[in-house]
Amino acid sequence: MAGVFKVVVSGLFAAILASYNEPRGAQDWATRYSELLSQSPIDDDPAVVNLPPYPAAKGVYKHNDKLQSLTKLGEGELLLPEDVQPDPTGTFLYVTNQDGWIRKYYLATAKVENWTYVGGRPLGLALDNAANLIVCEPGQNQLIQISKDTGVKTILSTEAEGVKYGLIDEVIVASDGLIYFTDGTYKYPLATWWYDLLEGKPHGRLLVYDPKTNTTSVLVKNIQFANGVALSKSEDYLLYCESTTARVIKLHLKGSNKGKSEVFINNLPGHPDNIHRNKAGDRFYLALLFNRNALYDFVFKTPVLKLLLAWDEKLYSLYDNSPSIARVLELDEEGKPLRLFEDSTGKVIAMLTTAVPSSDGRYLYVGGLRDNFVGRFSLSTD
């Protein structure tokens, strides 16, 4: 792995040197180097994020290619599907698309329907108690309700406690109608979300919208990139993903521990995106967007490399391994990892952001940021 460090760091500095044509003295290069770092779009003092040693790829975390057996749904018509929401009747899937459309995929006929255009880049989906669709749309940073009958959209919320959303991300609705959702980062927009990951500072929030009062409140502040959110079956606690720190946090909503938080699972083998619970209530499915390795963890605790990677998106793309792996982790109610489903080389699917169980518990519907289809994966796969 030391060889990997050497190649990457050498490549970064070569890119810096290549940006200047004429020869320069050592002092002049030092000045230019300082100038370059000062031009980085993130804070000049990014946080040192010291993650625990990443878990070995053995036992539950052993690499595999189980996801390569999935069935592709709506290939070429469902564009980089960030999230999927089955309708209550099991007839179709609501799917978010990169081009601003919410599309329906009909399971019996394989037909894809352009249902409602919300604009921007819709991300998280959920159903409210009247089966209307709730959408997180970070391009315009709106929490949206779409009528199941007419497709007409209503903007529910655009800010909380005077702070506008920066990257409204994922959503879940409780039985009492409260809508819980995350604002990944109030500082950076969707187009440069990875700046927040590199900066490593706590700009994320967990929020709740009350449709009875039309108000939005902040439940938790200072989250290091708030992402997926899920409720327990009894709704006594809520889980939210903290992507930067590779962990999931449990927030108690009821009982003597109401309002208190604890770690649900720590030191994940990748950085978590969305999390979904099955209907039975005994399993959670966690999409891992990145694969942690020595290089990833080294960068997270090395501010100068963070500044360089943020300086040029091409450099960041050399570092980003998400386009070459897909991972879904199955957890029990205690946060114990049970099974890992992978496409370890990204041959069929990669960059997973969501894994949604079907209502009968037989399948996972998976989607992400590389492929133009929704994958249907059988959970009977051993």
In terms of C-beta density within 10 A (0-12 exposed, 13-18 middle, 19 or more buried), how is residue 275 classed? Answer: buried
H/E segment holding residue 199: helix 193-199
**If pLDDT is split at 50, 70 and 90, which confidence band does 20 have?**
very low
pLDDT value, residue 2? 39
Q: What Cα–Cα distance (Å) separates residue 171 from each residue in 84, 102, 269, 277, 345? A: 12, 15, 24, 13, 30
Q: What is the pLDDT of residues 338-347, one digit of tens each?
A: 999 999 999 9
Look at residue 20 and give its three-state secondary structure. coil
Closest-CA residue to 278 (of 343, 231, 212, 245):
231
Predicted pLDDT at 6: 43
- Average pLDDT, integer, range 60-73: 98
Q: What is the pLDDT of residues 300-312, one digit of tens each?
A: 999 999 998 998 8
Residue labelled with tokens 């994958």: 375
First-last CA distance in the chain: 32
* Mean per-residue pLDDT over the chain, rounded: 92
- Element housing 281 (H / E): none
134, β-bridge pairs: 126, 145
Residue 3 pLDDT level (bands cut at 50, 70, 90): very low
pLDDT interval class at 319 (50, 70, 90): confident
Find, among 351, 347, 363, the residue nearest to 326 by Cα: 351
57 φ, ψ to 5°?
A: -80, 70
Q: pLDDT at residue 268 above 60?
A: yes
The pTM assigned to this predicted structure is 0.92
Set out the domains of the chain in order of their start, with CATH numbers: 40-378 (2.120.10.30)
- Tell me which of 102-106, 282-286, 317-321, 325-329 is least confident: 317-321
Task: List Cα–Cα distances, 129 to 132, 145, 376, in angstroms.
Answer: 7, 12, 26
Say whether pLDDT at 31 is over 80. no
H or E, element range at 211: none
Whole-angstrom Cα distance, residue 304 to residue 9?
11
Nearest to 112 by CA among 374, 370, 363: 374
